[in-house]
Amino acid sequence: MTRVDERVASPAPPRRANQLVALVRNGWRQLTSMRTALVLLFLLAVAAIPGSVFPQRNVSIEDVQGYYEAHPTLAPVLDRLGAFDVFASPWFAAIYLLLFTSLVGCILPRLRDHVRALRTPPPDAPRRFERLPQRAVIEDYRGDLEAIAALLRRRRWRVAVRPGTVSAEKGYLKETGNILFHFSLVGILAGVAIGSWYGWHGNRLVIAGSEHGFCNTLQQYDEYGLGPRVHSTDLPRFCLELVDFEARFLDSGQPESYRATVRVDVDGGPPRQVDFTVNSPLRLDGANVYLIGHGYAPVIRYTDRYGRAQTSVAAFPKSDEMLTSEGVFTFPDVNINPETGERDPNAQMGFQGLYLPTVSDDPTVSRSVHPAERSPGLLLVAYRGDLGMETGIPSSVYELDQRQIDSGKLVQVGLSKLLRKGDVWTLGDGTTVEFLGTRPFVVLSVRHDPGETIVLVSAGVLLVGLMMSLAGRRRRVWCRITPTRSSTTDRSSLVEVGGLPRTDYSGFADEFADLVAALRASQPTTGHAPRERAGMHEGTDCWGRSPPSS
């Protein structure tokens, strides 16, 4: 812009303007040159490497936090450089945008040229065929130009008949495929862009049971992402609850199959029950629901000193592949005197839990030995005191507030205790806790990406275009017909045939020979056979295959 303004503001001599135009033109030429494109491609590949070396925010935010903890001085520097958001970083975008500009700048003129080539007849024959890599002579040819043209057309050549010569060209699909391939790359980029503008996703942990269902609103997601062009009211309305979840495991502990059964209530319609699993997500109108995690949610009942019981279900995230799971139960509203309504601020209860679906026979092993619930046990550590929930400081729902424990406001009661299903543990003050069992939970990802179809179609076109451009071969043949007087009949003539492969095509010699043979065979059989075989010269030194060696 400034360049243009400058030119308008100061009436510079036209020479200077030309220089600027030349500069811009040269710059553009540089950008759209193959060399620049190659360098940009290479840069793109190199720029993607840090994306696999460093943890990425969009892949796993926890890993990024872990990296911050492990490298407290290096991490902020790397973050400034965009190492944790490589694929959204300005420098990565700069590379691919330049690459795509170069691509479009290169492919548009090629499209223009190709359309022009498709509309114009194949070029005129060269004056001399001697320099063509393939050539042959047919003497005593008894057909005419039209017969040759018809034969070539039958063989799907594009043909132009001029006085005395026939020009034919084939393999336009190569360039068509090439252009398709490059345009479909732009299509993929557009699809990705649309997906990130108009797409959204939300993740949520759902425990089995009707009281744990949720509806598709942003507030109900544990974590969500909304494209810049999507409003929270645009989300399709449906509610979902987990009815059952079944996981099957091998004896080795390797999972074999998962199946989630959910009840879906799409806006207005009757609720329906559907099963879905990994690899076959639940496809709703405007959203897909994916199963991305699962685990156990133990249920305990705490009976306080006034004899009032409360039940709590808490999802325990797994900490290893055998589904050893850790989590907490909190009972902030217990030990309230039912008569006075008086709350003892230091009698809230919290339990730190470790759930083992299969407890080992060896008592020193505090990890699960199998992910299925073969011999379930819940290891609890009880805390009494102030849970610190009123402080307003956000805290994890998977662990007790360590500050309260450190400051002595939350005190451990007794030692840890391993409870089997149905076991009751009586704490020192007469209160009891009972392990009632578990419920399954799943982690669901609900997503919508409107760019997917565009990307899929573009990828399909890309593949087709790629194969066309790699398999296609552009080649030309020319025939020149010269009437011969020495022949016995009037219609006999001499046909010179020349061929030029325009791309690296080692099979051209064979195709050419085949074509010449067909031309010979196509002569009207009114007279006798050609007197003499025409000499065929293979230009092995420039285009043909290397001579066969044994």
Partner 1 sequence: MTAAILAYLGAMVGHAAEYAFGSRAPAARVAARPRRALATVGAGAQGAGTPPEPEPAPAAADSRRPLPVGRIAVAVTVLAAVAHFAAVVTRGIAARRMTWGNMYEFVLTLTLVGVIAWLIVLARRPSIRRLGLFVTLAMVLLLGVAGMVLYTPVGPLMPALKSVWFIIHVSSAAIASGIFLLGFVTGVIYLLRAGYDRGKRRFPYPLVRWAPEAEALERLTFRLHAFAFPIWTFAIASGAVWAEAAWGRYWGWDPKETWSFISWVVYAGYLHARATPSVKRRTATWIAIIGFVTMMVNLIGVNLFFEGLHSYSGL
CB of 459 to partner 1, least distance (A): 5
For residue 375, list its beta bridge partners: 358
Cα(196)–Cα(34) distance, integer angstroms: 30
Q: Which stretch binds partner 1 (CB under 8 A): 31-39, 112-120, 236-244, 427-435?
A: 31-39
The yes or no reply on residue 459 touching partner 1 (CB under 8 A) is yes
Among 20, 41, 78, 513, binds partner 1 (CB under 8 A): 41
Residue 65 found at the interface with partner 1 (CB under 8 A): no
Residues 112-141 that bind partner 1 (CB under 8 A): none
Residue 252 interacting with partner 1 (CB under 8 A):
yes
From edge to edge, which strands make up the β-sheet containing 475-483? 158-162, 165-170, 475-483, 493-501, 134-141, 536-538
The distance from CA 498 to its chain's CA centroid, rounded to whole angstroms, is: 48
Least distance from partner 1 to the Cβ atom of residue 260, Å: 12
Instruction: Give the span between the Cα atoms of 162 and 126, in whole angstroms.
Output: 13
Interface residue with partner 1 among 292, 309, 365, 518 (CB under 8 A) is 292
CA 351 to chain centre: 42
275 to 21, 190, 279, 545: CA distances (angstroms):
65, 34, 12, 60
Applying CB under 8 A, among 62, 256, 361, 532 the residue interacting with partner 1 is 256
Chosen residue from 98, 108, 457, 466 binding partner 1 by CB under 8 A:
466
Of residues 421 through 450, those in contact with partner 1 by CB under 8 A are: 445, 447, 449
51 binds partner 1 (CB under 8 A): yes
Scanning 148-156, 272-280, 387-395, 484-492 for contacts with partner 1 by CB under 8 A, the matching segment is 272-280
Q: Does residue number 48 form part of the binding site for partner 1 (CB under 8 A)?
A: yes
Rounded Cα distance between 384 and 235, Å, is: 43
Binding of partner 1 at residue 44 (CB under 8 A)? yes
Residue 1 makes contact with partner 1 by CB under 8 A: no
Question: Are the C-beta atoms of residues 142 and 96 closer than 8 Å to each other?
Answer: no
Contact between 456 and partner 1 (CB under 8 A)? yes
Selection from 368, 300, 347, 298 nearest residue 327 by Cα: 298
Binding segment toward partner 1, per CB under 8 A, in 37-45, 158-166, 324-332, 481-489:
37-45
Beta carbon nearer to partner 1, 321 or 333 = 321
* # chain residues binding partner 1, by CB under 8 A: 56
Q: Work out whether 281 is an interface residue with partner 1 (CB under 8 A).
A: yes
- 125 and 480 Cβ atoms separated by less than 8 Å: yes
Quote the tokens at residue 187: 């299509």
Name the burial class of residue 387, with classes exposed (0-12), middle (13-18) and buried (19+) by CB atoms within 10 angstroms of its CB.
buried
Stretch that binds partner 1, among 29-37, 108-116, 367-375, 483-491 (CB under 8 A): 29-37
Strand, coil or helix: 494: strand
Lateral strand order in the sheet of 377-385: 325-331, 348-356, 377-385, 410-419
Pick the piece of the chain touching partner 1 (CB under 8 A) from 53-61, 117-125, 158-166, 339-347. 53-61
Considering beta carbons, is residue 90 or 460 the nearer one to partner 1?
460
Contact 357, 316 (CB under 8 A): no
Residues 361-380 that bind partner 1 (CB under 8 A): none
Rank residues 51 and 133 by Cβ distance to partner 1 and give the closer one: 51
Q: What angle do CA 489, 490, 492 make, to 5 degrees?
A: 75
Residues 478-507 that bind partner 1 (CB under 8 A): 504, 506
**38 sits near partner 1 (criterion: CB under 8 A):** yes
User: Between the CA of residue 21 and those of 8, 12, 28, 36, 221, what are the distances in Å?
Assistant: 13, 13, 10, 20, 55
Binding site for partner 1 (CB under 8 A): 34-35, 37-38, 41-42, 44-45, 48-49, 51-53, 56, 58-59, 63, 86-87, 192, 201, 250, 252, 254-258, 277-281, 288, 290, 292, 445, 447, 449, 452, 455-456, 459-460, 462-463, 466-467, 470, 504, 506, 545-546, 548-550
